Amino acid sequence: MPQQTTEERRIPATAPQRSGYRRLFRLPGARAFTAGNLLARLPMGMFGVSAVVMIAGARGSYALAGAVTATGLAATALAGPWIARLVDRHGQTRVAVPATLVSVLGSLALLLCVRYDAPGWTLFAAYAATATTPNIGGLSRARWAHLLRDDPGALHAANSFEQAADELCFMLGPVLASFLTGTFFPEAGTLAGAALLLSGMLLFTAQRATEPPARARSKAPSPLRSPGIPPLLACFTATGAVFGSMEVVTIAYADAQGHRAAAGVVLALQAAGSCAAGLVYGALKPAGLGLTRCLAAMAALMTLPWLSATLTGSLPVLAGTLLVAGMATAPTMVTAMTLVQRRTPADRLNEGMSLVVTALLAGIAAGSATGGWAVEHLSPASAFAVSTGAATLALGLACLTRADGCRAADGTAAP
């Protein structure tokens, strides 16, 4: 009689199906690796704000602070797929722990360079070293994909939870960083972020029973050449432009009204709407709600902030529309990420998901630049049209490339 795998013993084919998130966290080790992942992921929303406050406070230049953080984003976009490829080949623990150590050392080096007035180029070099941080959300999604590879329904719930966790961390991270840097000292946010990242990663990787197996050097083609992946990456890039432009324009709009300090709270409402929608989407799994329909909803809802800013000029009204507009984000990201998981070779899954991050970062950078230009040359209220345009572009790309239902090279429908 053939032996059962560990996962088959945990989730027998004849076992009654549990619904929702409760079923996910009944899996042995799931709670522990999720706790570690959330601890390690929270600093992703802290490091940027902490670095800007720390550098601008010490050097008196927001331009320098912005340039340093932009360099870090560019380095992350370049290093991410390479780190992910190593994870696929050698396993999460063997790669993620040393890569995280290098990143933490980069954060501490930045802190010391700022504090002891080192030359400006050292700030760029130190912050670029933090690009070795693994794609923490991708590592967690890879574990769920491994554990639930024969259960698409449960995997949908897991992906929805992970997207909600992303939104929660990027909502709480800047708030925590602002509190630490303002209450204690400018370096407090960076120190706390480094400690959380390292401790969370050690807890996460300690759960070896849930870790996907390392695979030999892959003979599969790069995910970039997998059927259906390039169109999805194009959609992710346009979606990233929505996020990047919305952040810059919202800050400028609040600043123009004399409430710049409220910009963080207003943006947090957008993340809160996405977080809530992600959890509901994972629990209900609406039938027939594919990527194109999700993008159509996002394009429609992104007109609300633009209309509220131009017609009312009210920051509270804008905050309410951002809360509603954010509700389309998580379903869109969950649906697109699920398609990436299905279309990426199993032995290059981390690499495929890391390419998503690269596409998002490229879009965020482009959206930030375009949004900043629109603020300067038009007005903060009119500049909200950039986010609407980016969402419409994502929808158009999905329709033109059939990203929702591409065909494989052999002519069969892609999964």
Whether 52 contacts 62, CB under 8 Å: yes
- β-bridge mates for residue 413, sequence order: 407
pLDDT at 13: 35
pLDDT at 260: 67
pLDDT at 405: 61
Provide the whole-model pTM.
0.74
pLDDT at 323: 92
pLDDT at 311: 92
Give CA separation, 80 vs 77, 203, 224, 377, in Å.
Answer: 6, 21, 14, 34
Rounded distance between C-alpha atoms, residue 110 and residue 104, angstroms? 10
pLDDT at 194: 95
Give CA separation, 23 vs 30, 165, 204, 286, in Å.
Answer: 10, 17, 20, 19
Number of other CB atoms surrounding residue 76 within 10 Å = 21
Q: Within the chain, which residue ranges are assigned CATH 1.20.1250.20? A: 29-217, 225-415
pLDDT at 356: 85
Assess if CATH 1.20.1250.20 describes domain 225-415: yes
The pair phi, psi for residue 407, each rounded to 5°, is: -115, 140
**What stretches in the chain show pLDDT beneath 50?**
1-19, 406-415
Chain segment 157-187, per-residue pLDDT in tens: 888 888 888 878 877 887 788 788 878 988 9
Q: Which CATH architecture has domain 29-217?
A: Up-down Bundle (1.20)
The C-alpha R_g of the chain, in whole angstroms, comes to 21
Token duo for residue 257: 């009204």
pLDDT at 303: 95
pLDDT at 5: 38
103-141 burial by CB neighbour count: b if 16+ within 10 A, else e? Answer: bbebbbbbbebbeeeeeeeebbbbbbbbbbbbbbbbbbb
> Can you give the three-state secondary structure of the chain, one letter per residue?
CCCCCHHHHHCCCCCCCCCHHHHHCCCCCHHHHHHHHHHHHHHHHCHHHHHHHHHHHHHCCHHHHHHHHHHHHHHHHHHHHHHHHHHHHHCHHHHHHHHHHHHHHHHHHHHHHHHCCCCHHHHHHHHHHHHHCCCHHHHHHHHHHHHCCCCHHHHHHHHHHHHHHHHHHHHHHHHHHHHHHHHCCCCHHHHHHHHHHHHHHHHHHCCHHHCCCCCCCCCCCCHHHCCCHHHHHHHHHHHHHHHHHHHHHHHHHHHHCCCHHHHHHHHHHHHHHHHHHHHHHHHHCCCCCCHHHHHHHHHHHCHHHHHHHHHCCCHHHHHHHHHHHHHHHHHHHHHHHHHHHHHCCHHHHHHHHHHHHHHHHHHHHHHHHHHHHHHHHCCCCHHHHHHHHHHHHHHHHHHHHCCCCCECCCCCECC
